[in-house]
Structure 1
Amino acid sequence: SPDPSVSPASPDPSVSPASPDPSVSPATGGPAGDAAPSGSVVDGLLAAPMPTEPMPAEPRGAAAEDADVRAVAGTALGLVDLADGDLPAAGLAFARSLSAAREAGRPRTELVCASRAALLHAVRGELRAAETLARDALAMPPCHGWSCREDCAHAYLALALVALHRDQPEEAEANLALAAPATGEPVVGAVAALCRAYLLRDAGDLPEGHRVLAEARERLADRPRAGELTHWLLAAESDVRGARGDLGAARELLGRAPDAAAPPLAVALARVELRAGDPRAAGYALPDWEAPEAAGWPLPVRLDAAVLDAVLAGRAGDDRRAGRLLERALDLAGPEGFRRAFTRAEPGVRDLLAAHLDAGTAHWPTVSDLVRGADAPAERAPAERGTGALDEPLTERELTILRYLQSILSNVEIAAELSLSVNTVKTHVRNIYRKLDATRRREAVRRARALHLI
């Protein structure tokens, strides 16, 4: 069972060739008896040059050998599932393989699993798990001669989605830029396109958001197992079309979908009907997000449905039901820190939130903050000190480092990215703070954005 993180030309000395996984078919890379996945996917995996892992310091026992095989085989299957677009299967495979890789002492395989598991948690709206795994992956040292650039890119994409759902657009943009090395593959690229399109929509660039989504859908055309991801792309595209005022095209796009009853598409259709001024049709289209089976939906889809349901109740004059639905939505959003579902939702949401404060809520601090954020999200608020030109302009090197300050990278990591010493980076950062009249990283970034420096 080859380790997906090891180049065929450089076998991993820690794995005994006499211990293949009997559940893996040598011809397909999948469970014995399964049909082989698409040739392009397998070819791509086999062609990917990956360095070896270190030789273990001590001989492995039977348990370690078993964990080793489970880590290697499971990771290979997870990579195939992810490349084919089967996100639930990939998530399960990476979760199991991550545990086995840690047990077997395979840091390279652990990084592969942790970064991709983080991404799949983020896609489903499990933001805390995604953030923890992503930061764990990024904290792993790039030791033993192998590079973590692409694997770290998956972790950055996970953090970009986390920041998007928490309505932190600058942080999402910065992490999305760092995720670029992973987006060449169509499925991961489609996830990045979703994140990019929502950021563009929030910024008002609807034509570019539409283009990004349409291009991502086209790249998934030969991935029949990517149905769930295709639904999200269609729902996002219909939302962008609706925001542009092209409601007929948005409705037609959703109607042509093979599975128009899928939750993301049904929620998107309800939003289109509400924008068209037909709340009754919107209520009819909206799926039952409180049904037992809805517990298995991705949380962003369920939250969108809940907030839309509250808006419809408010439009119908049923303030009591609207308040109950809104409180339930806040219960769902709170543990993961969701904000965007409220701050970027339909115009009536702010009024509902304000009324909910007066009626009483178990989420008073959150709702109070959301009421302000629904009008002017905190990350886009203008700097308090004005937008005049700097007395002392930033140098080119300082501007470069300033862009990195938008990300979660530490000074040590920025120094590594730019091939500078840590002390040099710290000196530049101090100069940036002084010139921007800032005392913290986020304050410097906000001030720089207000001055259109980044």
Structure 2
Amino acid sequence: AHARGAIAEAEQSGLPVSERTGMAQLVLAAVAIDRDDLTPAQGHLDQAAATSAASRDPVVAVELAILRSRMLVARGDPRAALLALDDMAKQPLVFAEPSPWVSDRIAMATAAAHLADGDPKAAVKVFEEQRSHSPESLAAEARARVAAGDRERALGILDELPEPQDRGPVIEVWVLLTRAQAVDALGDAAAAESLVLRALTAARPHHLRRPFLEAGPWLRRLMLHRPSLAREHAWLTSTLSPQPAASRQRDESVGPSPEPLSTRERDVLERLAQLMSTEEIAADLHLSVNTVKTHLKSIYRKLSATRRGEAVRRARELGLL
């Protein structure tokens, strides 16, 4: 909300794009990446890069490089992400004094790329060489240690974090998923399931998909064996929301599988099932009413429906809701 307000203020005052800070666009890009909305995220990054501040403000330059690396990880190219971070580290960035915030951001992005590349030991080494300062960085270190097999140390780090109300929803979701992975590896499947359910509940209002997509194969296995975990979370991508067997074996009268819905179409569909109006959906998703109408037309076409109720019923039959 602050970022959108800053952009609106700049536009109303006629400030040229080249003279803006770029930070508001980076904030919107970070939110979009957390939601796995990669197309708008790329648009925000491109707009941030178009500002002159991106080349002269070291904080903006670092964050731009970090978010670009996160995009590469999200698109399945962690090695390119590591190369991009390495190139950034070689750039002569001038700070008045060392910034723990910047150090944490770089360490987290580097460790995440190593984990995505299947090298948890390299991820742990990042934090051994760079001490964590923030709750977010500590949570990332715990995640790396769980992946490397050091579950007890990871749980110890998580136990020392501030209370949930003192950290944002993204950190809280990562903390819950990391703790779930640790206790699952220690043999407590019931506790792991409970923690994953709490993570889903915490992520749902913000549609935080990336933590679940990046959590690793253990989460996919757990949710595959316990499909009830995703029953009320249609906003989550289909790769982590296994379709119930009953839906896979639906009656032939339902017809063939439809064309897959996009992430944004799933967002609209979920709100459609909640009986939200077109205007309410637009406001909730920060979209124009016309854009929502376009998504609705696409949903109707893909689901072979002509009305809202019919689309929702068809989606339920297909296991999409």
TM-score relative to the length of structure 2: 0.64
Question: Among residues 200, 222, 225, which one is paired with 1:352 in the alignment?
Answer: 222
- Aligned residue pairs total 251
Which residue number in structure 1 is paired with residue 111 of structure 2? 238
Q: Which amino acid aligns with 2:209?
A: R
Secondary structure (helix, strand or coil) at the match of 2:158 reads coil
Cα 1:187/1:321, change in 2 over 3 Å: same
Q: Is the 8 A contact 1:303 1:341 kept in 2?
A: yes
1:138 aligns with 2:10: no
Structure 2, unaligned runs of 5 or more: 243-259, 265-285, 289-293, 299-321
Question: Among residues 242, 252, 256, which one is paired with 2:129 in the alignment?
Answer: 256
Which residue number in structure 2 is paired with residue 183 of structure 1? 54
Which residue number in structure 1 is paired with residue 22 of structure 2? 153
Question: Among residues 68, 78, 83, which one is paired with 1:211 in the alignment?
Answer: 83
Q: Distance in 2 between matches of 1:280 and 1:198?
A: 25
Q: Is the 8 A contact 2:104 2:133 kept in 1?
A: no
Question: Among residues 309, 312, 323, which one is paired with 2:179 in the alignment?
Answer: 309
Q: Distance in 2 between matches of 1:146 and 1:261?
A: 36
Q: Which amino acid aligns with 2:191?
A: R
Alignment deviations for residues 221-274 of structure 1 (CA, whole Å, 9 cap, x no partner): 7353521231121122022124334444433321111x3475344433333333
Shift of 1:197: 0.8
Cα 1:317/1:250, change in 2 over 3 Å: closer
Alignment deviations for residues 357-412 of structure 1 (CA, whole Å, 9 cap, x no partner): 43xx6x7432x44261438997589xxxxxxxxxxxxxxxxxxxxxxxxxx999xx
Secondary structure (helix, strand or coil) at the match of 1:338 reads coil
Q: Is the 8 A contact 1:160 1:175 kept in 2?
A: yes
Q: Which amino acid aligns with 1:222?
A: F
Secondary structure (helix, strand or coil) at the match of 1:287 reads helix
Q: Which amino acid aligns with 2:187?
A: G
Secondary structure (helix, strand or coil) at the match of 2:215 reads coil
TM-score relative to the length of structure 1: 0.47
1:41-56 aligned within 5 A = none
Query: Percent identity of the aligned residues?
Result: 26
Secondary structure (helix, strand or coil) at the match of 2:36 reads coil
Q: Distance in 2 between matches of 1:157 and 1:442?
A: 31
Q: Is the 8 A contact 1:270 1:286 kept in 2?
A: yes
Q: Which amino acid aligns with 2:123?
A: A
Cα 1:346/1:139, change in 2 over 3 Å: same
1:318 aligns with 2:181: no
Secondary structure (helix, strand or coil) at the match of 2:63 reads helix
Which residue number in structure 2 is paired with residue 229 of structure 1? 102
Q: Is the 8 A contact 1:156 1:179 kept in 2?
A: yes
1:72-221 aligned within 5 A = 132-140=1-9, 142=11, 146-151=15-20, 153-180=22-49, 181=51, 182-184=53-55, 185-217=57-89
Question: Among residues 362, 365, 374, which one is paired with 2:232 in the alignment?
Answer: 365
Cα 1:161/1:354, change in 2 over 3 Å: same
Question: Among residues 165, 181, 206, which one is paired with 1:336 in the alignment?
Answer: 206
Structure 1, unaligned runs of 5 or more: 1-131, 382-407, 411-438, 444-454
Question: Among residues 126, 135, 139, which one is paired with 1:267 in the alignment?
Answer: 139
Q: Which amino acid aligns with 2:103?
A: T
Q: Is the 8 A contact 1:200 1:208 kept in 2?
A: yes
Cα 1:283/1:246, change in 2 over 3 Å: closer
Alignment deviations for residues 331-363 of structure 1 (CA, whole Å, 9 cap, x no partner): 3323323111112222121233345543xx6x7
Cα 1:188/1:251, change in 2 over 3 Å: same
Alignment deviations for residues 198-233 of structure 1 (CA, whole Å, 9 cap, x no partner): 110122222321133234455557353521231121
Q: Which has the higher helix share?
A: 2
Q: Is the 8 A contact 1:168 1:379 kept in 2?
A: no
Secondary structure (helix, strand or coil) at the match of 2:191 reads helix
Q: Distance in 1 between matches of 2:68 and 2:155?
A: 31
Q: Distance in 2 between matches of 1:200 and 1:160?
A: 13
Q: Is the 8 A contact 1:273 1:282 kept in 2?
A: yes
Secondary structure (helix, strand or coil) at the match of 1:370 reads coil
Q: Is the 8 A contact 1:308 1:346 kept in 2?
A: no
Secondary structure (helix, strand or coil) at the match of 1:365 reads coil
1:434-449 aligned within 5 A = none
Which residue number in structure 2 is paired with residue 3 of structure 1? none
Q: Which amino acid aligns with 2:144?
A: V
Q: Which amino acid aligns with 1:343?
A: L
Q: Is the 8 A contact 2:184 2:192 kept in 1?
A: yes
Cα 1:315/1:148, change in 2 over 3 Å: same
Alignment deviations for residues 57-95 of structure 1 (CA, whole Å, 9 cap, x no partner): xxxxxxxxxxxxxxxxxxxxxxxxxxxxxxxxxxxxxxx
Shift of 1:307: 0.7
Q: Distance in 1 between matches of 2:145 and 2:159?
A: 16
Bigger radius of gyration: 1
Cα 1:261/1:442, change in 2 over 3 Å: farther
1:49-68 aligned within 5 A = none
